[in-house]
Each structure stands twice: as C-alpha cells, then as structure tokens.
C-alpha cells in the first residue's frame, strides 16, 4: 500500500488503443453492407518521477514572476482635527435639533390637551342647553296636545310640536354621548386610560 505522498511524486502516461464496440453502421461500400464502429480507450499508467521534477514548473513560474519591490507608505493626519471638530459641531447641532423637536412635540401635546378641555366644556354647555330645549319642547307639546284634544289646534301644528319634541330628545342624546366622549379623551390625556 502506497502513501499519499509517494502518489504525488508519480507522473501519468496515457496511451490510447482502438477496439471494436460491437455496433455497425449500414454502408453499401462494404462487402457485407455494414461498417464496424471502433472507439478509442485510454489507458493510464503511473510513472515514478524524481522529487525535484514535480516542482520544476512551479519554480520556473516563480522565477518568471518574481519582482523585487519595496513599498513605503506614510499617513500623516494633517486635517484629522478638522474632521473631528466638524463632527463635534454636527453632534451639538443634532442635540439642539432633538431638543427643539421635543419642545415642539410638547407644545403640540399641550395644544391637543387644551383643545380636548375646551371641547369638553363646549359639549357640556351644549348638553345643558339641549336638556333645557327638551324641557321646553315637552311643555310645548303638552300644551299643544291639550289644545288639540279640545279642538283648538289643527293636526299639522300638533304633529309639528311632536316632531320638535322628538328632535330635541335626539339632540339631547347626541350631545350627551358627545360629552361622554370628550370626557374620555380628557381622562386619556390625564393618564387614566380609556375605561367604559
């Protein structure tokens, strides 16, 4: 059994020989009407080589491509201080920009809270006004139904008073839910979260 190192020190000789493949081509020029097909088969034999011959091509290529060069590189950071100073100034500007953005966001939040507060106050006043409107509309409808029952009011005026009362009740409900919604927004800004 040969080791791998001794196998690398061997060369390879290739020889080719022809042999019949066992197939024929129809050809009227041949006496039997068939032309035999031949194929070439390589035979590889390993030949021992001396150790130096294995690396001959490598050393020739190395000698052909060998160049003697000396390189010298010197890096002097003349303007490095300027770039550091510029980066420092940019960082200071970024900090100022971040502070301005924070102040702008705080002002926007404060404006949103003020808007929510004034909307809640306005919706409360609207709710109170609609409650009074419902009371007035119910009293008016009560008087209109008494006048209708004794025949002093026609049916169109009676239905108009009834529609006014229903409209006032609907407006009261709408303003009530609007007021509840505005109060929930204020609770959210207080940090209480949204609770139903």
Interval 165-188: pLDDT, tens: 999 999 999 999 999 999 999 988
Domain ranges of the chain: 4-26+33-65, 106-190
Residues 6+ apart with CB under 8 A from 186: 113, 116, 117, 120
pLDDT of residue 43: 72
Q: Where do runs of H (alpha helix) occur along 31-154?
A: 51-54, 56-65, 80-149
* Arithmetic mean of pLDDT, 40-66: 65
**pLDDT tens track for 113-157:** 999 999 999 999 999 999 999 999 999 999 999 999 998 889 999
């Amino acid at each position: 059994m040969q080791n791998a190192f001794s196998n690398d020190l061997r060369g390879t000789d290739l020889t080719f020989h022809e042999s019949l493949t066992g197939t024929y081509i129809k050809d009227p020029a041949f006496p039997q009407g068939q032309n035999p097909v031949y194929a070439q088969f390589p035979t590889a034999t390993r030949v021992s080589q001396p150790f130096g011959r294995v690396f001959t091509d490598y050393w020739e290529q190395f000698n052909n491509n060998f160049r003697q060069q000396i390189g010298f590189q010197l890096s002097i950071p003349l303007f490095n201080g300027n770039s550091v100073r510029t980066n420092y100034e940019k960082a200071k500007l970024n900090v100022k920009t971040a502070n301005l953005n924070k102040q702008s966001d705080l002002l926007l939040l404060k404006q949103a809270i003020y808007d929510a507060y004034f909307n809640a106050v306005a919706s409360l006043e609207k709710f109170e006004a609609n409650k009074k409107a419902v009371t007035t509309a119910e009293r008016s409808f009560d008087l209109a139904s008494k006048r209708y029952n004794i025949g002093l009011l026609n049916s169109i005026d009676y239905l108009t008073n009834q529609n006014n009362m229903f409209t006032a009740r609907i407006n009261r409900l709408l303003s009530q839910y609007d007021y509840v919604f505005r109060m929930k927004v204020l609770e959210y800004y207080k940090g209480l979260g949204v609770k139903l």
